[in-house]
Structures are given as C-alpha cells and as structure tokens.
Amino acid sequence: MPPLWALLALGCLRLGLGVNLKPQLASVTFATNNPTLTTVALEKPLCVFDSLAALDGPCEVYLYVLVDLASSRNASVQDATETPLSSTFQQTEGGRTGPYKAAAFDLTPCGDLPSLDAVGDVARASEILDAYLVRVGANVTCLSDPNFHGLCNPPLSGATEYRFKYVLLNMSTGLVQDQTLWSDPIRTNRLTPYSAIDTWPGRRSGGMIVITSILGSLPFFLLLAFAGAIVLSLLDVGGSDGETTHDSQITQEAVPKSLGTSEPAYTSVNRGPPLDRAEAYATKLQD
C-alpha cells in the first residue's frame, strides 16, 4: 500500500479540468531516481481529458518534448489545420529548435485504472507503473538504428531544462482534440560523482512538502499540548485544593526517597511550585 501522500500527489492531476493542467513529474514512490541524467518520468494524463465525460471514439495521447529556451517557450504542437506535428528528435536537434514527439500511447479510461494497492507486488509492478507513468528518454537503441523510422524516444541531455506537453489526438479525424499546457521546466540531472547514490530527486512533490511541514511543526503541537496540560492542572489546583494537594505531597515525598539523598537538585525542583516544575520539564524537552 503506497503512502497516502503518493495517492494525493497522483490525485492532483485528476481534479482539474483538461486543458489547464501541466504534465507533472512522477511521484517519488514510483520513480525514486527521477529525473536521471537522461530520462524524466512523468505521470500520464489519466482522468484529465475524460474527467468530465467518457471520450467518444478512438483516441491516442502524444507526448511532446521541448528544450526550455526563451525563443520557444510557448511553441505550438499543431499546424494551422490542427494536425499534430510529427517532428522527430533528430529533426529538432533533440527539442532545441522545436517540440518533437517522444511517445504515443492509448489512454486508459478513467474508470479502468489498475489499483495502486498492488504496486508492491513484483509481478504486477511494471504493468501498473506503465499504466501511470511514461518515461521520456527511455529508448537507447532507436537513434543508432538506421533502419528505424518510427517514433523515437532517445536519451535526453544532462543538466538541461525540458518542458512537456500532452496532446489528445482524435483518431477518427487525425486532429488535435485537446491538450494540456506546457509543463514547468524540468531539469535533468548533471553528472556528479555522487549521482549514483543520490536518489533524492531535485524537486519534492506537493505531498512530500505537506508531510515535511507536518513533521516540522510536530514539536510545536507537542509544546502546545504540554502548555494546555499545565494550564489545566493549575486550574485544577486552584479549583479543588483538597485531593490534589494531597496527591502532590505524596509525589513530593516519594521522589526524593527513590532518588536517594545524593540528588539535591532534583528534590528542590520537585518541591517547587507547579510552574517551576513545568519549566524544568520544558527545558528538558528542548534539550
């Protein structure tokens, strides 16, 4: 069972409406070393184009890749007749002179997605990851194969910022039916002596940040709860003095005995008023 934040991170793509979304980097749960020097794993646009209604007729999704340069920031991936570009990696110098088509895949209908619960199952993991993720730069053979003229998805350049866009193709008309925005720039890793062991990706997903900030504020909540407990106990002492005073006397007598006579510091702390004790505890907590 993947952590909840991973599901939330995947869910982000699903909530919005088609064209206003950007392709997102895959969650760290599914692609720990991402981006690498030559690849970028993205979430497929699941439940994006068909978030409102099931798609009517056969469709395919194209993934376009563009090097992030000022001159080509909002490049179009269709011509005047809305036919999607068929430019290749070689024709665009690896995305430097314009967007190239890196991948084409069928869209799993929103209701038919495999359950993420089974992703820990080794036998099914690759099938499930394939349903959710697409890896740009995954094919190391097609560039060097002179007889290959199909869709080629060769390795990306290191330390380069890329943008990505998904396009929904209507297979009956051959025209662009819908498209996402260009993604934010995503930088491939650069070659460092540590890149082999550095499995932490450059970016954190939104879910990761939420978890981090929750963990970060945990001491604050503990202190808050502690302060609340002190206030309550003070109110209690003020309200009904009979039983509580008795209790605290027992504690005060019991503690020095168990600690022995060689601990004057502790005994004086324990004999002080409740607030002093609280401060002593708080200092201990901060240590």
Ligand X SMILES: *[C@@H]1O[C@H](CO)[C@@H](O)[C@H](O)[C@H]1NC(C)=O
Closer CB to ligand X, 139 or 188, in the complex: 139
As measured in angstroms, the least distance from the Cβ of 2 to ligand X is 25
Give yes or no for a contact between 64 and 100, defined as CB atoms under 8 angstroms apart.
yes
As measured in angstroms, the least distance from the Cβ of 88 to ligand X is 12
Closer CB to ligand X, 59 or 128, in the complex: 59
Closer CB to ligand X, 149 or 257, in the complex: 149
Tokens of 33: 């070393």
Instruction: Measure the CA–CA gap between 101 and 70, rounded to whole angstroms.
Output: 20
Question: 225 in helix, strand or coil?
Answer: helix
Q: How far apart are the first and last CA of the chain?
A: 36
As measured in angstroms, the least distance from the Cβ of 82 to ligand X is 11
**CB half-sphere exposure, 225, CA atoms < 13 A:** 7
Instruction: Measure the CA–CA gap between 281 and 84, rounded to whole angstroms.
Output: 68
**Residue 58: count of CB within 10 angstroms of its CB:** 11
As measured in angstroms, the least distance from the Cβ of 228 to ligand X is 50
Binding site for ligand X (CB under 6 A): 55-57, 59, 74, 76, 139, 141-142, 145, 148, 170, 172-173, 177
Closer CB to ligand X, 73 or 271, in the complex: 73
β partners of residue 164 = 65
If you search the block for the tokens 């749960």, which residue do you land on?
29
As measured in angstroms, the least distance from the Cβ of 74 to ligand X is 4
Closer CB to ligand X, 141 or 251, in the complex: 141
